[in-house]
Chains A and B, each alone.
Chain A
């Protein structure tokens, strides 16, 4: 239900009929890209994965966001100082992926590959898919702008 429609009913009907006959661009929705947006969104982590830049991927996971709670900011701060023990202590238990990363870094601070792969596989793949979706969305816009079909 879309509320507060201020349009004339005939416009609404035109819009609905237009959608029926012309369809919609099959973009991936914003839910695909996670909380970090243009700062550290899943698609950016996905890019690091495609580039095999494991440290880059981890750094993005721990990049501070405006929406972070104080204890999360503390944890991220500690991460930046490579104090992985403190970082893990600050993190809420809900941040399971980050905790697994820190556990690996505590035992081997330079095993960035291992630390990334300590993340649950489904979570890893979310970042891969987000990057694929990001490129797809851009390509779809481009395709429809070049207008090769009638």
Chain B
């Protein structure tokens, strides 16, 4: 988007300070200005959207209208929500806050490995992620499968941002692979396919937290 296109009527909320605050309810929300865009002050990962509750700011662009429409369709109005709810009921506890729209997985690494038995746990021979030629290091005598029958698995490791879901990271990965595969087919007539369906059981991961973000970055969300 060029500076000409930017105007405050079409602008995102971002976090005003760059401190990595994971509970965003008390942060300073700032609507991006034209000067900000010219100065390239904010990056895509700074953009946030509201979790509906009292006193949230909506983007001043189309998505703000879209959110209002979603609420109106359901009989909800932000100014009604902003009115103080008396009593100790659940509604008096609804607090609006904000969440980043795009995140990047930290310390992301990956490797392709081979396995032959679908019920095997983990790697037999490893493939260096920079050199993706499969190496078969020596087969069990009892496993004399021809190499065409060896299966590939992808092992990924990354640190998950607080409040983010590992399943959503992997969804993006599979989608990218599907997209990449599609483009490859269009341009180079390859016949590769990617299995886009992900059985959650296969993830073998520690569960991403369902609670509101904790203060610290989670350590080593290892999908092993």
Contact = CB atoms under 8 A, between A and B. Distances in A.
A25 interface: yes
Contact of B190 (A2, A8, A24, A129): A8
Interface string B140-162: 00000000000111111000010
B27 interface: no
Contacts of A94: none
Contacts of A5: 112, 151-154, 194-195
B167 interface: yes
Prevailing SS type, chain B contact patch: mixed
Interface in B83-135: 89-91, 93-94, 96, 99-105, 108, 110, 112, 115, 118, 122, 127, 129, 132-134
Contact of A19 (B96, B153, B173): B173
Interface string A56-97: 000000000000000000000000000000000000000000
Contacts of B181: 7, 11
A26 B168 contact: yes
Interface of A: 1-16, 18-20, 22-32, 47, 49-52, 113, 116-117, 121, 124-125, 128-129, 131-133, 135-136, 138-140, 142-144, 146, 148-150
Which 4 A-B pairs rank lowest in CB-CB distance, beginning with the nearest?
Answer: A29-B165, A9-B132, A24-B172, A15-B177
Interface of B: 1, 10, 12, 44-45, 47, 49-53, 59, 61-63, 66-67, 70-71, 74-76, 81, 89-91, 93-94, 96, 99-105, 108, 110, 112, 115, 118, 122, 127, 129, 132-134, 151-156, 161, 163-174, 176-177, 180-181, 184, 190, 192-195, 198, 202-204, 207-208, 210, 212, 223-224
